[in-house]
Amino acid sequence: MFKKILIANRSEIAVRVIRATRELGLASVAVYSEADRESLHAGLADESICIGPAPASASYLNIEALLAAAKRTGADAVHPGYGFLAENADFAQACADHGLVFIGPPAEAIRKLGHKTAAKALARAAQVPVVPGTDGTITQGFAQAAEAVGFPVMVKAAAGGGGKGLRLVRDPAQLETQVKLAQTEAATAFKDGSVYIEKFIERPRHVEIQIAADSAGGVVAFPERDCSVQRRHQKLIEESPSSAVPPATRAAMQAATIRLARAAGYSNVGTVEFLLAPDGRFYFIEVNTRLQVEHPVTECVTGFDLVALQIRLAAGERLPFGQDRAAEIRGHAIEHRINAEDPAHGFAPRPGRISGLRLPGGPGVRIDTHIYAGYTVPMFYDSLLGKLIIHAADRPAAIARALRALGELQVEGIPTTAGFHRRVLAHPRFQKGDFDTSFVDSLQEEIHAEGH
């Protein structure tokens, strides 16, 4: 086992990893930018070190600074959290080259699965259903390719993620313009402007399967998470299990996920994402070769600490349980991403000073956050303030508990999305489990109509 872990991240995920290392009896090193000197993660770790100015490019994305911090503090492993460099194969390889264990999959597995067209090819080889589309990236013949797939289509960045480099095209006359926009956005975000085309699945659910794998070939797949409540491809609410996934579909998705992980030579923790069509068929989208923001819902319904599991697997330990135990579902969990955003003004980010804070509590209520009264949310990073995770015996009980907890939550000084989450939970379609990835858009239209 390791002695000291450097956490190459910030905010609530850094706090989450620090807590896991402490429970495992390991020392932790936090890194922080000049804008994060007062962040909770910087003060909670056993050691902390400044790695650069506020911009992420000069700090949290600075591989040389992170490696230097690990060397200076004597860390023997690096946990990347999520975002920033968590899915960067070059960073994983650089850690290995400097004698550090990267707490995640091998660099080669990240490369195989991080490029979406390569991942789709691997999925096809593993007999995992994929959305119909081009066999890889294309640089010309977009009109012919789109006609062959059939409109509407999605233009997607091959190296994409987080909704960037993604364009829906219903009108063939708009295809060329949307391709250029996707290429430009992809080149800016990922330094890779390559794109591909695939069929747009109408009214899908976004469902994902959490996996864990050891270096000896053991692989397990956990119960699914439903991430369909999202805005502009950014998830807002996640829950497990999904109201749209019957047991037979769940088992099929888990089996497909395990086949793909084995084909990729995967180890450690990751997530395989699918679109679930209204007819019950599911299609592979992509693999996230890291811990997910929404990992707590899986922890709640399975009883496993996924961060501790990541660390143990990276240290060479084998999976301590098999597929039957991994697939067990214990109750229902819902996660709410509470952001410093103003829903009344297009979810515009609203950083600033938190003048007061009251966090909810009680049975089945978990808060993962880095904020406190007096903390100033910086303008340089994402707007996530924390995650409210609810666990109860069943879905109706979880919804009732979540409404109660959201009502108790008070963040003073800046607007948050907590009120919007209450609107979602109270909506009849959500309560019935009758929604898809377009649900938030339709809810916003309802709210807009009410205001006029």
Q: Which of 81, 78, 22, 77 is nearest to 56 (CA)?
A: 81
Beta-carbon contacts of residue 330 (< 8 Å; ≥ 6 apart): 300, 301, 302, 303
Burial string for 434-444 (b: 16+ CB within 10 Å, else e) reads: ebbbebbeebb
Single out the residue of 242, 106, 82 nearest to residue 162, CA to CA: 82
Q: What is the rounded (10 degree) CA torsion for 335, 338, 343, 349?
A: -140
Residue with tokens 């119960």: 223
**DSSP letter, residue 353:** E
CA neighbor of 213 nearest in space, from 299, 165, 156, 272: 272
The upper half-sphere exposure of residue 311, i.e. CA atoms within 13 Å in the direction of its Cβ, equals 29
Residues with a catalytic annotation lie at 290
Tokens coding 316: 């060479």
Could you identify the residue written with the tokens 């950083």? 351
- Identity at 214, one-letter amino acid code: D
d(C-alpha 217, C-alpha 267), whole Å = 8
CB 410 within 8 A of CB 356: yes
Q: Smallest Cα–Cα separation from 389: which of 400, 379, 398?
A: 398
> Which helix (H) or strand (E) segment is 398 a member of?
helix 395-408
Could you give the dihedral angle defined by the CA atoms of residues 366, 11, 290 and 332, in that order, rounded to the nearest 10 degrees? Answer: 10
Distances (CA, A) of 242 to 26, 334, 347, 350: 35, 10, 26, 32
